[in-house]
Structure 1
Amino acid sequence: MQRPITSHQKKLSALCAIVGADSTFKELESIEVSGISQASDSVLPGDLFIALPGEKVHGAQFASDAISRGAVAVLTDAIGAKEIKGVPVLVSTNPRRAAGIASAWFYSEPMRDLYSVGVTGTNGKTTVTTLLHQIMTAAGRDSGLIGTVETRIGVESIASKRTTPESSDLQALSAVMRERHMRNLIMEVSSHAITLERIRGSHFAVVGFTNLSQDHLDFHKDMEDYFAAKAKLFTFEYADLAVINLDDPYGKRLAAQTELPVVTLSRLDTSATWHYASIASDYVGASVSIRGSGGILIEGKTALHGGFNYDNLLMAVAIAVESGIDPIDIAAILPTLTGAAGRLEAVRLGQNFTALVDYAHSPDAVKRVLEAAAEISDGKVIAVLGCGGDRDKTKRTLMGQALHEGADIAIYTSDNPRSEKAEEILVQMVLDIDVVPPSEVIVDRAQAIRAAVNLAQAGDVVMVLGKGHEKGQEINGKVHEFDDRIELAKAIEDKK
């Protein structure tokens, strides 16, 4: 975990008061905290260790390890407190919320010292934040980026473990960015992070909403619960301004109910604050004319493909202008923008067909990305897709159907089966689908990719969906090295 070099010493008694925790320890005033950690293996001497209740185990089980590494106190709930001995224990009825508040307070609310942007939605978060980071960097604004693929602090890149970090890591990273004189922080905000209060204590100048479609129903009880989680971000507690895509029905609903001032986006609706006056696409991208606040007109070329990517670009441009970047500069930057890793990422080895990798792993995302593939194909769309194990089972049949309907040749395969059997997941994917050759079910993902490539002819598009930027495949609790881009390249080389 990255931490600022600048010392942040705070009295444990003051921290206890800030989060409203209880403690039977009488000498909190004499103890100083020099850091906060929610992972025992990242504890440094002087840290407060936060032991949260988990789905399978309680963080208090790792308290002894944290204490051995130098933790001077533990923040937890009443259940966890029973397991901890040897250091002061702060007991909170909601330790997740307390963790967020404590971490933001400890680092003096670093996100308020940056122009912080949070983007949420089922699809598009990574691409919007990546594009916005590129625009701001090209415009001369040193910026930080936190997301699914990577965390960037200026030119430094760190692989991300989750879309939105735990609160102690998030606030520490923000403090590092402030310390290194970043002007902006652009980050993805997941519904898990909102629900689990990882962003408690955070504040954004702008929050963006891309869209909402079925996903994560293993975590949220239904779509209403999923939407309600996203909507929590669009309050004055977390933000000053909302930028919302009206082409999504949940976006329209959110724009009508949020208490924040709203800037609206639409690909087609000219009544929206930001919209396209024209999009002329071709095989290398598109020429676009974007209308914005006060009649702003931004014209230029983009290498991006697909309607959903035009939505992503529109949001990135709108937020960039709202942040104060000159529209004339943005027009010049447009042709240089590239998508995020693993999002419609091309593998080019001189073959006579297009080969792309994409992270699409929800029914709507699969539908959209296959529509984009059809737009650029001069032949067939051949697509490979699997569904992850130990995740939302209700979307598997829907994803299989989206593949069946959107691809000329559909190859069903494994994704990250995790603790489930890949064969059983595939049965659910192809339920009620008549898989007719050359479409087929191939359990082994590498073989499935190879089969797709071997079927490809000049002008076709081969799409490998679901894992995108990931570099491993989890099977029975073990992560094996596996990168769709590398497997696709190997298959193309062998075909040539």
Structure 2
Amino acid sequence: MIRTLAPFTATLEDTAQLIGASLHGDNVTFTGVTHVDSEVEAGDLFLAIPGARVHGATFVQAAVKRGAVAVLTDEAGLVHCSGIPALVVKDVRTAGALAASSLYKYPTRDLVSIGITGTNGKTTVSTLLYQIFEAVGRETGLIGTVETRIGAEVVKSSRTTPEATELQALAAVMRERHMRHLVMEVSSHALSLKRTKGSHFSIAAFTNLSQDHLDFHHDMDSYFAAKAQLFTSEYAEQGFINIDSPYGQRIVTEAAIPVTTVSRANKEATWHFTETHNVSRGIEFSIRGAGGILIESRTRLFGGYNLDNLLLAIAIAVECGIDPIELAAIIPTLSGAPGRLESVSLGQRYAALVDYAHSPDAVSNVLAAAREFTTGKIIAVLGCGGDRDSSKRPLMGSALVQGADIAIFTSDNPRSESPSEILSQMTASLTYNAPSQIIEDRSDAICAAVALASDGDTVLVLGKGHETGQEVAGVVTPFDDRIALAQAIEAKP
């Protein structure tokens, strides 16, 4: 975990009062907060969170050996805290997040912080905003699925939204390094698991909502409710909402903060497109925005859903004071996020792209985008991840068959599940004909797709995007769709 150079201190008594904890032991001073025992530094408060399988308090002694001076836990964890001061609460996640944000003096409030939520598009909108701010000379921090950036420094991301201890420390480092903006993805898991407690955003944005993560949220209402938390005064000053879905419209009516609407086609929205034209290598467009602003430009991004992403980023950028004329000149240089319709080009006479699409709606949208620029066949490779929402598997399989001319079903991080069982769930209710097929080995599936490609076709490899590993039976081996696709293209006679 990255730490600030400047020291921060807090006492257990003051923290207990802040979070409503009972103090067991001496009133010591701590200088950091972490929930990972291997990342403890001398002077830290160790956050012992009850887990699904193991209570974090079982690692207290390991944390003490590394220099932890106190523990924040619940009653169940207190039995592991003999000989070390402890703060005891009912909700360790919320209390830990508030303790971390307080220790670092609420760093998200000292930045122009922008939180992006939604099923699809979070990474692209965040990346576009980061590129815009950097283009006009505003130092910016980025936290998201693909990577974390502190200005030009790149830090590997372990999840879409970090745990609260890491998030607050990162924001504090960004403030220390004089970042002006923080742009970050805010996942529904993060909101449900209290990782964002203690954070506050100048702007919260909503892209869309479609079926995903129902293994965690159980139903769409719960999934929506998790996302909707961001649009309250606890978390944000104002919201920017895409209203091209019922869920976006619902947030507008229920949000407890002022909201600005964006839409691809609804002229009632504050920000909307007035014209779009597909041209060689992109789209030309005109946008109307707040106060009658007109922005005319072109983008290298393809597909209607990327117009949605771009529109949201443009609206937020203007709200943050970017001159529309300067913005129009920047837009053609924007490249989007790694692994999102990312091209693999080795001089072949057919398109080859990798995309992170891993929900039914995302698969449909990517295939529709490819149809816009494909003169031949669309050949698409797709799998579904193991130990994740199984209810979306037949929907993703159906989206693949409906949107592609040739559908190849394969593995995608089966984890602890049987790859063949996942593929059976994807395809059981489908009707498809050769050369569409099931090829369990992902590398073989990609090679098969490339072997079928002719001039003017498009090969799409979906699901993993930027990821660089394949997890099978708990073992992660190196696997990058972009590399596998390039190797298949090179090997084709």
TM-score (normalised: structure 2): 0.99
The runs of 5 or more residues in structure 1 that have no matched partner are: none
**Match of 1:205, SS?**
strand
Residues 1:9 and 2:12 are matched in the alignment: no
Residues 1:362 and 2:363 are matched in the alignment: no
Residues 1:466 and 2:460 are matched in the alignment: no
Aligned to 2:100: 103
1:48-99 deviation per Cα after TM superposition (whole angstroms, max 9, x unaligned): 0001011221111111111110000000111111122221111011111001
**Match of 1:218, SS?**
helix
**Match of 1:463, SS?**
strand
1:159-214 deviation per Cα after TM superposition (whole angstroms, max 9, x unaligned): 10000000010000000000000000000000000000000000000000000000
Aligned to 1:440: 437
State the 1:103 CA deviation: 0.8
Q: In the aligned structure 2, how far is the partner of 1:111 from the partner of 1:288?
A: 34
Q: In the aligned structure 1, how far is the partner of 2:242 from the partner of 2:439?
A: 38
Report the residue type matching 2:43 in the other structure. G
Aligned to 2:164: 167
Aligned to 2:300: 303
Q: In the aligned structure 2, how far is the partner of 1:81 from the partner of 1:473?
A: 38
Report the residue type matching 1:44 in the other structure. E
Q: For the Cα contact (< 8 Å) 2:211–2:359, is it kept in 1? A: yes
Q: In the aligned structure 1, how far is the partner of 2:126 from the partner of 2:472?
A: 30
Aligned to 1:287: 284
Q: For the Cα contact (< 8 Å) 2:13–2:23, is it kept in 1? A: no
State the 1:283 CA deviation: 3.7
Residues 1:202 and 2:203 are matched in the alignment: no
Q: In the aligned structure 2, how far is the partner of 1:171 from the partner of 1:476?
A: 34
State the 1:111 CA deviation: 0.5
Residues 1:495 and 2:492 are matched in the alignment: yes
1:190-239 deviation per Cα after TM superposition (whole angstroms, max 9, x unaligned): 00000000000000000000000000000002000000000011000000
State the 1:14 CA deviation: 1.1
Q: Say which of 56, 59, 64 aligns to 1:59.
A: 56
State the 1:16 CA deviation: 1.8
State the 1:315 CA deviation: 0.3
**Match of 2:230, SS?**
coil
Report the residue type matching 2:21 in the other structure. A
State the 1:108 CA deviation: 0.2
Q: In the aligned structure 2, how far is the partner of 1:50 from the partner of 1:93?
A: 13
The runs of 5 or more residues in structure 2 that have no matched partner are: none
Q: For the Cα contact (< 8 Å) 2:203–2:240, is it kept in 1? A: yes
Q: For the Cα contact (< 8 Å) 2:12–2:23, is it kept in 1? A: no
Q: For the Cα contact (< 8 Å) 2:190–2:196, is it kept in 1? A: yes
State the 1:12 CA deviation: 2.0
Q: In the aligned structure 2, how far is the partner of 1:62 from the partner of 1:439?
A: 50
**Match of 2:217, SS?**
coil
Q: In the aligned structure 1, how far is the partner of 2:358 from the partner of 2:39?
A: 32
Aligned to 1:131: 128
Structure 2 counterparts to residues 14-163 of structure 1, below 5 A: 14-25=14-25, 27-28=26-27, 31-163=28-160
Q: Say which of 220, 223, 245 aligns to 2:220.
A: 223
State the 1:282 CA deviation: 2.4
Report the residue type matching 1:57 in the other structure. V
Aligned to 1:449: 446
Post-superposition, which runs of at least 4 consecutive aligned residues in structure 1 deviate over 3 A?
none
Q: Percent identity?
A: 59
1:322-375 deviation per Cα after TM superposition (whole angstroms, max 9, x unaligned): 111111111010010001010000001000000000000000000000000111
Aligned to 1:246: 243
Structure 2 counterparts to residues 324-403 of structure 1, below 5 A: 324-403=321-400
Q: In the aligned structure 2, how far is the partner of 1:257 from the partner of 1:9?
A: 39
Report the residue type matching 1:13 in the other structure. E
State the 1:434 CA deviation: 2.1
**Match of 1:395, SS?**
helix
Residues 1:177 and 2:174 are matched in the alignment: yes
Q: In the aligned structure 2, how far is the partner of 1:204 from the partner of 1:261?
A: 13
State the 1:9 CA deviation: 1.5
**Match of 1:219, SS?**
helix
Q: In the aligned structure 1, how far is the partner of 2:131 from the partner of 2:83?
A: 49
Aligned to 2:261: 264
Q: In the aligned structure 2, how far is the partner of 1:252 from the partner of 1:440?
A: 40
**Match of 2:364, SS?**
helix
**Match of 1:244, SS?**
strand
| Number of equivalent positions | 493
